[in-house]
């Protein structure tokens, strides 16, 4: 992926933020939940990655827009030397289930973009990189939209979004899709560019064959439930952490 051996490993690690390739499985029954979309905003994160003792720093820029029955999420990750290494794009409508993606595009350094298409007319989820097809039942997400759907559900759930509660979503990746189950863990303080923030830690429950892989998201109720911190880890070998530096409402 890169001329230099060490940055190559770090870049590969950053690509794993979405927890690697999804495993094919049947899509679950549609579940309608109360939701409230966070206000449109530009969010800038400090990014730190570590793999086998090697550290890499950079930034992640997320552009979130919602209004007039539509939404879009653009997320770019940049590091020194390599420049932009990941570009994720999700866009679509807002329906009774919350975010309703129409298209999800992933672009990785030195690779062609891949696309997941949510064909609402045909009620089918398709992929440019595979022949896998899933029926669209309602509420399906992609790897760029899921964090914002989670924030929207948290905003609308009220007291139901409490420690111990679990929130499953069917999430599309590059080639297929799988169910991601998020569990509300606890409230805790998080140091960010906004100062010390009161946040709710939500963790994606690991799959049976990926027990070492974890994804943690800290949502900040006093800051519109924006994700103020995200952490991906694959055991002790690899870790990526994004911490919010600035947020500008649009």
pLDDT value, residue 2: 33
Residue with tokens 């030195």: 110
Which tops the pLDDT comparison, 171 or 13? Answer: 171
pLDDT value, residue 12: 41
Confidence of residue 111 (pLDDT cuts 50, 70, 90): confident
Rounded to the nearest 5°, which phi and psi values hold at 8? -60, -45
CA neighbor of 184 nearest in space, from 207, 209, 159: 159
pLDDT value, residue 80: 80
| For the chain, percent of residues with pLDDT exceeding 70 | 85
pLDDT value, residue 17: 45
Q: Which residue segments constitute the domains of the chain, with CATH numbers given?
A: 5-15+25-249 (2.40.360)
- Residue 207 burial (10 A CB sphere; 0-12, 13-18, 19+): middle
pLDDT value, residue 18: 40
CA neighbor of 86 nearest in space, from 23, 18, 180: 18
Span 20-37, pLDDT tens digits: 444 445 677 788 999 999
Q: What is the mean pLDDT of the chain?
A: 87
Tell me which of 4-8, 49-53, 102-106 is least confident.
4-8
In the predicted model, is pLDDT for residue 201 greater than 90? yes
- Report the SS3 class of residue 250: coil
Give the CA count within 13 Å in the CB-facing half-sphere of 181.
9
Span 63-74, pLDDT tens digits: 999 999 999 999
pLDDT value, residue 130: 94
pLDDT value, residue 3: 33
DSSP state of 16: G
pLDDT value, residue 240: 85
pLDDT value, residue 211: 64
186, 203 in Cβ contact below 8 A? Answer: no
DSSP of 131-151:
EEEEE--S--EETTTHHHHHH
Span 175-185, pLDDT tens digits: 999 999 999 99
Which tops the pLDDT comparison, 51 or 63? Answer: 63
| Strand spans (E) along 96-237 | 98-108, 114-119, 124-127, 130-135, 141-142, 166-172, 177-192, 195-204, 213-220, 226-234
131, 175 in Cβ contact below 8 A? Answer: no
**What is d(CA 101, CA 116) in angstroms, rounded to the nearest whole number?**
9
pLDDT value, residue 148: 98
pLDDT value, residue 118: 98
């Amino acid at each position: 992926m890169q001329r230099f051996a060490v940055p190559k490993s770090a870049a590969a690690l950053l690509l794993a933020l979405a927890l690697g390739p999804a495993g094919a499985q049947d899509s679950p029954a549609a579940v309608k939940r109360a939701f409230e979309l966070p206000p449109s905003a530009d969010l800038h994160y400090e990014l730190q990655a570590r793999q086998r003792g090697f550290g890499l720093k950079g930034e992640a820029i997320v552009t979130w827009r919602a209004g007039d029955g539509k939404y879009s999420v653009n997320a770019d990750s940049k590091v020194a030397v390599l420049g932009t290494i990941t570009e994720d794009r999700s866009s679509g409508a807002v329906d009774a289930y919350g975010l309703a993606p129409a298209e999800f595009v992933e672009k990785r350094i030195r690779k062609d973009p891949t696309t997941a298409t949510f064909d609402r007319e045909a009620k089918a989820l398709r992929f440019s990189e595979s022949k896998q097809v899933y029926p669209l039942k309602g509420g399906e997400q992609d790897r760029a939209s899921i964090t914002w759907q989670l924030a929207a559900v948290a905003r609308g759930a009220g007291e139901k979004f409490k420690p111990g509660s679990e929130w499953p979503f069917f999430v599309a990746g590059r080639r297929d899709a799988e169910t991601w189950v998020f569990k509300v863990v606890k409230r805790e303080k998080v140091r960010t560019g906004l100062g010390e923030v009161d946040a709710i830690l939500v963790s994606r429950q690991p799959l049976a064959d990926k027990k070492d892989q974890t994804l943690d998201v800290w949502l900040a109720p006093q800051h519109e439930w924006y994700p103020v911190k995200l952490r991906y880890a694959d055991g002790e070998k690899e870790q990526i952490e994004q911490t919010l530096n600035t947020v500008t409402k649009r």
